[in-house]
Chain A
Amino acid sequence: MKIMVAIKRVVDYAVKIRVKPDKTGVVTQNVKMSMNPFCEIALEEALRIREAGLASEVVAVSMGSSHSVDTLRTGLAMGADRGIHVEYSASLYPLSVAKILRKLIEIEKPGLLILGKQAIDDDCNQTGQMIAGLLNWPQATFASKVVLDKEKQVATVDREVDDGIETVCLNLPAVITTDLRLNQPRYATLPNIMKAKSKPIKKFTPEELNVEIKSDLEIVQVTEPPKRKAGVIVSSVDELFDKLKHEANVI
């Protein structure tokens, strides 16, 4: 079985972002970019499944500008066997990403597609669910544990839901999106980074895949959230208690 993993290049999670003065978006020039943390977890899970002998190959896919190739290389250095890059310079919304993924899945025919539960830039939390819907595959979102049964061709997945953990069982092929607690992603070692340079990356454009990118959303503006007024540092528990009781009236 082949596993496909979708990875996204985003502004590094530790960067304090700045909104552009013209309100068209967020400054991404000269800002540290990294693989989306949830995508790292997705890739790690695929690698572990392969290492357990339950999958033969892990294919990493990324879409976006030519810089996305760097992110793919990181994925290859972690251990993915090969990469696919779909080049598109403008921003892609989840619906388009899902449509491109559908085409790639028709070509590659993986038995499992793993994605992060959300990208930390747009915070959409949509792509996995949408591709599952387009393919009519079952989905398990927010996974914190995945157990594959190769014989029965099913995946049993623990999902992090609002009030605890829910367990579902899916027939393969299926779509899984990862939550933070699924695993601890590995670091790419230097020898593996070197090796990754010779791993193949296939290139496509949306036109070649016959996917029409049309968007039904437009960004009107991006603004900073309202600032909170400055707070005070109190010197003792007594003062804190007093302020909460008589100034803020919350206890």
Chain B
Amino acid sequence: MATRVLLGAIKKRTVSFPAFPGPSIYRHGSTLVVVEHEGGVIKPPSLSALAAATCLPDPDSSVSVLLAGSGSSLHQAASHAASCHPSISKVLVADSDKLKNPLAEPWAKLVHLVQQSGGYSHIIAAANSFGKNVMPRVAALLDVSPITDVTGISDSNTFVRPIYAGNALCTVRYTGANPCILTIRSTSFPVPQKSVDSKSNEASISQVDLSTFDEDLSKSRYISQTSQDNERPDLGNARVVVTGGRALKSAENFKLIEEIAKRLGGAVGATRAAVDAGFVPNDLQVGQTGKIVAPELYMAFGVSGAIQHLAGMRDSKVIVAVNNDADAPIFQIADYGLVGDLFEVIPKLLEKLPEKK
């Protein structure tokens, strides 16, 4: 119970950033946040990692940001990072072709290199596919245990993380040497809508000295990435998520889910069954092994509510379930349940929902 109260307090604090006047003393060696960028801006999960870094309850801690890649978008992203948050004191830029792609080998070496010169007490990244891939490798290079998918920060060494598909919360204390390596669950560290007067205290931008960065790139090579064309909002950050399960029966029928999502301005999600059946691509899977979401409104159509699926959406604010099986486990966590045939319910719902322009 105490943890829960504490957690609540932490969550609240994240939402309303204290308006720090900016770090007056730069303490060498504090928190390093490893961020990803795209199109000249910091990606939303990395912004959550920054929000988590500012939750570490060390009054004179300062936050450094590390970003890497090459080209003009890197430098644009660096200036975005510099004015992201008042408690960021330093932006480190690693400009190298070797870091253009998110390969774990060069990235882990880079973070290791930066840690050796910076002596940080904490290194934080988002628990997305990038952070999960890179940070444990970094931890091994530094001979420390990482803590993944952190949902709450109690103090600078004590963290809360879900285990057993979110059916238990584990509070762990890190007792090892510096750095303490964390990946954080983005939905637990919301990014404030507008950061406080950012222009007045821009952080300094400096280049990482890569003269000793000798990562041999022959061991792994990036070939390609096929991403789904998605005009819908990003699943991880959407305000509304509409999910379909196996009961949709076909990819064609899944368009009904997409239509509801479109009209609500939301993102489309899916269960493992729907992905395995080929209705939608894998990157829409919500659950223990897919994406974790916590939207304002989560609507589940034809989703039974297996433990593994609930792990990915149980922290949603309002959960709506439509299923023809009144005993489906999803009804146990739904705020509003409707027992009925989704092929009858969805058209009626669409009638009520106005077309979005």
Contacts and interface: CB of A to CB of B under 8 A. Distances in A.
Contacts, number: 258
Interface in B152-180: 158, 161-177
A133 to B, nearest CB: 3
A169 B172 contact: no
Interface string A191-218: 0000000000000000000000001111
A181 interface: yes
A22 to B, nearest CB: 13
B103 A231 contact: no
Contact of A231 (B1, B174, B225, B337): B337
Contacts of A250: 240, 296-297, 317-318
A234 to B, nearest CB: 5
Interface string B218-256: 111111111110100000100010000000000000000
Report the interface size class on chain A.
35 or more
Contacts of B338: 233-237, 240
B9 interface: no
Interface in B69-106: 102-105
B319 interface: yes
B137 A216 contact: no
Interface stretch (B15-23, B58-66, B281-289): B281-289
Interface in A136-181: 137-142, 144, 156, 159-171, 174, 179-181
Contacts of B176: 216-217
Interface string A29-42: 00000000010000
Contact of B103 (A14, A128, A168): A168
Contacts of A54: none
A225 B145 contact: no
Given A95-B145, A167-B224, A219 B171 contact: yes
Interface string A44-71: 0000000000000000000000000000
A217 B163 contact: no
7 contacts: A141-B104, A160-B282, A164-B227, A170-B219, A171-B218, A222-B163, A232-B337
